[in-house]
């Protein structure tokens, strides 16, 4: 299978996206790091034409369902989102009393040198495993996203995991403004 199937073909189409931390490192174990993702998503919704339908932050990856409605499109959103969140999370790793600081920074530094795709540290894997929802059941992907914390045994029901849009699909109000499908 070619990697082309996971590339953004339509800059304004709906996608199921997966952004993964290098080596599947469990970075999002602290609320401060997860909050960077939440704040950045809200900023992109407010200022970058992001229309988000579903999201979840797990320990080592983020899933999104949505599209960019105008502006420079999905690729530009992903580039800017990953660049900002990477920079901010790395700053927090250096600032906070992080017991894994040296180990995490060493891994991110190694990946930057190995891949030659970043100057000092590389937090995110390249790509976003973009799957076009043009001919796919979008609600199936939304359910998949919302069941991630249940499958990981973090919660018993999806709407109890606050770093997800599942609460929005249960009639509540979550941390990120989503357009419920």
Strands 131-132 and 15-20, bridge-based pairing: antiparallel
Q: Return d(Cα 31, Cα 37) in angstroms, integer.
A: 10
Q: Do residues 54 and 66 make contact, with C-beta atoms less than 8 angstroms apart?
A: yes
pLDDT, tens only, 99-149: 999 999 999 999 999 999 888 999 999 999 999 999 888 999 999 999 999
Q: Are 85 and 37 in contact (CB under 8 A)?
A: yes
In tens, the pLDDT along 44-84 reads 999 999 999 999 999 999 999 999 999 999 999 999 999 99
Spell 41-61 as b/e; 16+ CB within 10 A means b: beebbeebbbbbbbbbbbbeb
> Which pLDDT does position 129 carry in this prediction?
96
Cα(48)–Cα(29) distance, integer angstroms: 27
């Amino acid at each position: 299978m070619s990697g082309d199937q996971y590339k953004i073909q339509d800059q304004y189409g709906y996608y199921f996206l997966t952004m993964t931390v290098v080596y599947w490192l469990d970075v999002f174990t602290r609320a401060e790091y997860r909050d960077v993702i939440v704040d950045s998503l809200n900023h992109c919704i407010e200022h970058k034409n992001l229309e988000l339908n579903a999201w979840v932050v797990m320990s080592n990856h983020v899933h999104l369902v949505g599209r960019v409605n105008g502006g420079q499109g999905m690729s530009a959103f992903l580039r800017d989102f990953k660049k900002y969140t990477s920079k901010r999370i790395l700053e927090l790793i250096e600032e906070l009393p992080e017991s894994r600081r040296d180990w995490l920074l060493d891994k991110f530094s190694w990946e930057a040198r190995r891949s030659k795709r970043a100057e000092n540290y590389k937090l995110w894997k390249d790509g976003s495993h973009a799957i076009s929802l043009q001919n796919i059941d979008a609600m199936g992907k939304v359910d998949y996203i919302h069941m991630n914390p249940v499958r990981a045994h973090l919660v018993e029901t999806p709407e109890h995991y606050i770093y997800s849009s599942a609460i929005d699909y249960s009639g509540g109000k979550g941390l990120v403004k989503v357009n419920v499908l």
